[in-house]
Structure 1
């Protein structure tokens, strides 16, 4: 799947997707379990990059791919020699920086670069898509989950296919794709006329804490939460590490930055700016409870 394919499927211009990638910081990790849920929306990370000078190279390559519309093949061709020159390639002995012990690990490979490319492009485009859909909630107040439904579609994603809920339903807090690595699902906005008769009641959400394996070197247990719903008695939820709506997290991060800037200016200037921003439903919905309380206090003078 190329950026052009994603754009065609999601009906989205690339600017919002690129902005999503650019607002991330870069974090290094040894195991994928070290970075879960909201962390993926605010930081770019690739497992087995801790202690190796490659995380920024991979991040820059992903952003460039989104900006220039690189295909997967172009992305791999550009990045592979860079990673090979730094020794981040193939199956080799590497030192775990957390323990100082050597272990055999799989570093870079064509398969791994494909996963990095597809997962980040999907996350970026879906986060941008979420921001656009929030702007049109007044005219399209219902959302429908859409899966690809072919031989590669996961059963849980297939069960969500076609389900319609109000755009403001809490179900989208976690059941907004991607729900797993290489997830190809999307969400389609529906007008009131198209969605009202098809909308399902708000489901009862259930949160399960799952064991995602202990750190084999430190023995520390690691857990992740999965929040989902029951469909025909089966628990359907994002996979571990994807239990957050990355579009929501992106908007919350951007709103938080705006609030921080408002804190730094004269109250009279902040009051004018905040009054304008609070007229945007997307901005208002993205505020944390603490930030909303502060804004309301400033606006009251």
Structure 2
């Protein structure tokens, strides 16, 4: 069975919210990105190792195209490598392409999923959320420690533990009705877990660095009054580019 990421990447699922979320992201350099407060990082887009605005813009365009049109990682890598190599850069490795593609597309998908799961109608019928991690050797122990944990949909834990919670994270959220929780004998927790034993060793239950916020809760707003200089500058560049184009 395909996971949620594969369904999106294959064009079987496209959320308008996902397209809007990623389309609104402002390309900035890695140095500028890491200076941003956590609350603003979901509004910015960067790719480590690249600083030129034209290159970052191309990465952003290709990923947005993938979300809109269901392009595959192979398509993305071929398009980007053609662009990069014509400009004297070394092409992306399979690992780099997968990391960039999966992390960004998965984030956009999860934002779209969040918008749908939090609609009043869905919240009324399915008021519980369960963290769902993939069980294989690639899954981080801290993510496995969250697997199967159930909290109310409006619990503050989802402000930090809403996937993706790391680069190439494949975790997702499953919505549950009151009856499903009771029939499955699931425990609804109300306190964030601190540590747990996973595969014979204790781990601290924390999202990966820079992945402890819910990107769906920080929407881009045209009023940039309180935005950091890097985001203001990126927005002005975009506006100028659109005007000149």
Q: CA deviation at 1:15?
A: 2.4
Q: CA deviation at 1:44?
A: 1.1
Separation in 2, partners of 1:152, 1:122: 16
SS in 2 for 1:65: helix
Q: How does 1:14-93 map to 2 (within 5 A)?
A: 14-30=15-31, 33-34=34-35, 37-51=38-52, 53-89=54-90
Separation in 2, partners of 1:52, 1:2: 33
Number of equivalent positions: 213
Distance of aligned partners of 1:2 and 1:85 in 2 relative to their CA distance in 1, 3 Å threshold: farther
Match of 1:131 in 2: 115
- The yes-or-no answer on 1:158 pairing with 2:123 is no
Deviations, residues 33-61 of structure 1 (Å, cap 9, x unaligned): 44574333211111222246300010001
Separation in 2, partners of 1:230, 1:144: 18
Distance of aligned partners of 1:157 and 1:78 in 2 relative to their CA distance in 1, 3 Å threshold: same
Match of 2:178 in 1: 192
Separation in 2, partners of 1:171, 1:155: 18
Gaps of at least 5 residues in structure 2 are 224-245
8 Å CA contact 2:33, 2:41 repeated in 1 = no
Greater mean alpha carbon deviation, residues 228-237 or residues 62-71: 228-237
8 Å CA contact 1:144, 1:189 repeated in 2 = yes
Q: CA deviation at 1:3?
A: 8.1
Structure 1 length as normaliser, TM-score? 0.63
Deviations, residues 172-224 of structure 1 (Å, cap 9, x unaligned): 110111110000000011112113652433114xxxxxxxxxxxxxxxxxxxx
Distance of aligned partners of 1:31 and 1:87 in 2 relative to their CA distance in 1, 3 Å threshold: farther
Q: Which runs of 4+ in 1 moved over 3 A?
A: 1-4, 6-9, 11-14, 30-40, 228-234
Match of 2:100 in 1: 116
Please say which structure displays the higher CA radius of gyration. 1
Separation in 1, partners of 2:13, 2:30: 31
Separation in 2, partners of 1:8, 1:117: 10
Distance of aligned partners of 1:64 and 1:112 in 2 relative to their CA distance in 1, 3 Å threshold: same
Gaps of at least 5 residues in structure 1 are 91-107, 205-227, 261-301
Q: CA deviation at 1:18?
A: 1.2
Q: CA deviation at 1:110?
A: 3.3
Which residue of 156, 173, 194 corresponds with 1:229? 194
Give the alignment's Cα RMSD to 1 decimal.
Answer: 2.8
